A = this chain, B = another copy of it.
Amino acid sequence: MSTTSRAIASTGRVEALSDGVFAVAITLLVLELKVTEQDAEGGLWHALGRLWPSYLAYAVSFAMIGIMWVNHHAIFSRLALVDRSLMYANLALLAVVSFVPFPTAIVADFIRDDRNARAAAMFYGGVGVALGLAFTLMWGHISHHDDLLKPGLTNQGARRQYRQSAMGMCSYFIGIAVASVSPIAALAVYGALGLFFAITSAHEPLDLTLGVSDQAPTAA
């Protein structure tokens, strides 16, 4: 390892802060869900039912943040060390993650408003692009600094993830294009993209993780 020229640290606290931000962002989504007494004048069941766009947005965003967390986990399961650039790239990613409740609320509030539904779905897609960009930056940095990797790992996997993240970012642009025609179809695209990332990453980084686990049983 030729790390002496750069400032590095172990990954523990970066993971702790990240887990905290993911946990808070994913839990704040519920604050969007509200039924006032006025809403319930036509009956509570009716009012609860009328919230379906909020449930849908809750589900999509929970899945989105959850899958991002699994991917974040995949990143750090490869890393032995972080340098300061990676810390700041990680903070940029966390800035986007903690921003997600806002576009979620926008979609929930405006998806039924014919005049604004397109804008809402496009705005949501824009945040998807930002998420893809942040992951692309992180994987790109890692693939160029293999001294951060756990012993025995090469940057081959990181390069593959880098290309996939860049593709993922681009495919959110397709979602935005769809949103300019049909907002509901765009939500379906965003959901499908999440599923795609969940499935492809299932075949990818975890074999490496397993390999690492086998070679060196990791501490908490």
Binding site for B on A (CB under 8 A): 3-4, 6-17, 19-31, 33-35, 37, 40, 43-45, 48, 58-59, 62-63, 66, 69-70, 73, 76-77, 81, 84, 87-88, 91, 94-95, 98-99, 101-102, 105-106, 109-110, 113, 115-116, 119-120, 123, 198, 202-203, 205-207, 209-210, 213, 217-220
Chain B hits for A26, CB < 8 A: 21, 94, 98
Chain B hits for A33, CB < 8 A: 99, 102
Q: Name the one of B17, B19, B110, B213 contacting A44, with C-beta atoms under 8 angstroms.
A: B110
User: Beyond A3-B210, A27-B28, A29-B98: 20 further Cβ-contacts under 8 Å?
Assistant: A7-B209, A9-B206, A9-B209, A10-B217, A17-B23, A20-B23, A21-B26, A24-B28, A34-B105, A43-B115, A44-B110, A44-B113, A44-B116, A66-B94, A69-B91, A70-B84, A70-B88, A81-B213, A88-B198, A219-B219
28 of the cross-chain contacts (CB-CB < 8 Å) are: A3-B210, A6-B210, A7-B205, A7-B209, A8-B206, A8-B209, A8-B210, A9-B73, A9-B209, A10-B213, A11-B220, A13-B73, A15-B16, A16-B19, A20-B24, A23-B24, A26-B98, A28-B30, A30-B102, A33-B102, A35-B109, A45-B119, A48-B106, A62-B91, A62-B98, A66-B94, A66-B95, A81-B213
Chain B hits for A24, CB < 8 A: 20, 23-24, 27-28
